[in-house]
Amino acid sequence: MSLRDFLKEEKDIIEFNESFSTKYEIPLIMKKYDGGPILIFNNIKDNTSGIRIITGVCGTRERLLRSINANKNNYYEKIINAINNPIKPKVEKFNFDIEKNDISCLPVLTYYEKDPGPYITSGVVIAKHPIKNFQNSSIHRLLVLDKKRMAIRIVPRHLYSMYQEAKELGKDLEIAIAIGLHPAVLLGVNTSPKYGIDELWIANSLLNGKLRLTKCETVNVEVPIDSEIIIEGVIKKDELVDEGPFVDLTGCYDIVRKQPVIEINKVVMRKNAFYHAILPGGYEHKLLMGLPKEAKIYDSISKIIPEVKGVRLTMGGCCWFHAVISIKKQAEGDGKNAILAAFGAHPSLKHVIVVDDDIDIDNMLEVEWAIATRFQGDEDLIIIKKARGSSLDPSSDMEKMTTCKVGIDATIPWDKPREKFLKAKIPGENNVLN
Ligand code: MN
């Protein structure tokens, strides 16, 4: 299953044949259409490689859910099921059409005014453990230093562990970077299963076993056959450079850090490859990060409350910090327990609003209405001081990484007459309230 297979079914695509620059010009157009159609740029200024830029592939919730054959009510189960039942992909022989020695042919974008250089933002970095026989796949931002080198931002998670273990053996870590993948693969890669499970197996489960891999030539790594572009190389054991400042989920600049360097062996690609660019802080970035977390929150609350209707990490909350959750309340205190379960399921979560199942959580006006008519600050508010938070929130204690978490239980009080809280209806009105 390839990105090209996915595009065949998609109608909402705009193609640009005029030539635009990779520096600011294309990002500006991406920003204008953010959250809307898929964009394809057929001509790139000063680039004759024939590579096309594609963006917005995962830019709406509906499109992303379509890619895993799900809808807004059933995707939680689909994602959790894939995480619980990874499927090992088949490995086949495959030769890509084109081979290059370096990345000078790639139309890598420079997005924002303070960016230190061009950044690859959709690259799935795939590595094999230096001793044990398992892979890890995760998306990392990559700063192009020159045509053979990039800086990679590695937060201390699974790839970081592999890099450390290779370093202790005195080795560089062999990796491959896949660009231009089916949206389901990108979603699968972001599900964060435990260390030792290759995220590509989760992606394969989301694709009902249709993901195939092939062995790279210069590194001991298996990559999706249907990738548009593959970069092979190593993360150097002994070289660190300044990485950043770069824009993260919040749309604010992340700080400069010393980060490892990738040395590139070679690049292979399809003819007229799609180079997938993701606007930092845009819809695509947010949805790919947030959707798997919504599934985890849903799963966690479902274990303590029989009927969870929906979970949304809201766009205004960066699809990361704010959750709105609707439940079918069955006892006093259910709302508060849902808040606690949500915080447990997604440690970066900061503010949670819980509403009854008559509230449409995709409509912030209704959510605010629930707070206005069903919530009392002295009874229904939970404040947890100095909990572990996200490194991305500039208002938190960024040294200690702690933050204040707030839960708002905007469900109807159990001890008051329910009818007083329900929206009046006009007979015949097709109301979401019932
Ligand atoms: Mn992992």
Q: Which residues contact 418 (CB under 8 A, 6 or more apart)?
A: 412
Given 283, 311, 334, which residue is the final one in a domain?
283
Selected catalytic residue, list 226, 248, 254, 299? 248
pLDDT of residue 432: 54
- Give percent above pLDDT 90 in the chain: 97
For the stretch 223-276, pLDDT in tens is: 999 999 999 999 999 999 999 999 999 999 999 999 999 999 999 999 999 999
CATH number of the domain that residue 113 is part of: 2.30.110.10
Q: Looking at the structure, do residues 258 and 324 belong to the same domain, yes or no?
A: no
Q: Is the pLDDT of residue 216 over 50?
A: yes
By the 10 Å C-beta count (0-12 exposed, 13-18 middle, 19+ buried), 152 is classed as buried
> Residue 132 corresponds to which tokens in the numbers above?
């044990």
Flag whether 434 is in a domain: no
Q: How far apart are CA 411 and CA 371, in angstroms?
A: 8
- Confidence grade of residue 431 (pLDDT, cut at 50, 70, 90): low
Separation of CA 160 and ligand 1 centre (Å): 10
Q: What is the mean pLDDT of residues 344-369?
A: 97
Q: What is the mean pLDDT of residues 114-140?
A: 97
Backbone angles phi, psi at 365, to 5 degrees: -65, -40
Flag whether 73 is in a domain: yes
Separation of CA 400 and ligand 1 centre (Å): 25
- Confidence grade of residue 88 (pLDDT, cut at 50, 70, 90): very high
For the stretch 154-200, pLDDT in tens is: 999 999 999 999 999 999 999 999 999 999 999 999 999 999 999 99
Q: Is the pLDDT of residue 434 over 70?
A: no
Q: Is the pLDDT of residue 335 over 90?
A: yes
Given 228, 250, 283, which residue is the final one in a domain?
283
- 337 vs 391 pLDDT, higher one: 337
C-alpha of 153 from chain center: 15
Q: Of the ranges 37-41, 49-53, 389-393, which one carries the lowest mean pLDDT score?
A: 389-393
Domain that holds residue 375: 303-421
Flag whether 330 is in a domain: yes
Given 283, 317, 349, which residue is the final one in a domain?
283
Backbone angles phi, psi at 300, to 5 degrees: -65, -45
Q: How far apart are CA 126 and CA 237, in angstroms?
A: 17
CATH number of the domain that residue 410 is part of: 3.40.1670.10
Q: Looking at the structure, do residues 271 and 326 belong to the same domain, yes or no?
A: no
């620059």: which residue's tokens? 21
Q: Looking at the structure, do residues 274 and 318 belong to the same domain, yes or no?
A: no
Catalytic, 357? Answer no
Flag whether 297 is in a domain: no
Separation of CA 333 and ligand 1 centre (Å): 35
Q: Looking at the structure, do residues 316 and 252 belong to the same domain, yes or no?
A: no
Q: What is the mean pLDDT of residues 309-329?
A: 98
DSSP letter assigned to residue 174: E
Separation of CA 77 and ligand 1 centre (Å): 20
Helix (H/G/I), strand (E/B), else coil: 66: helix
Separation of CA 105 and ligand 1 centre (Å): 30
Q: What is the mean pLDDT of residues 296-325?
A: 97
pTM of the model: 0.96
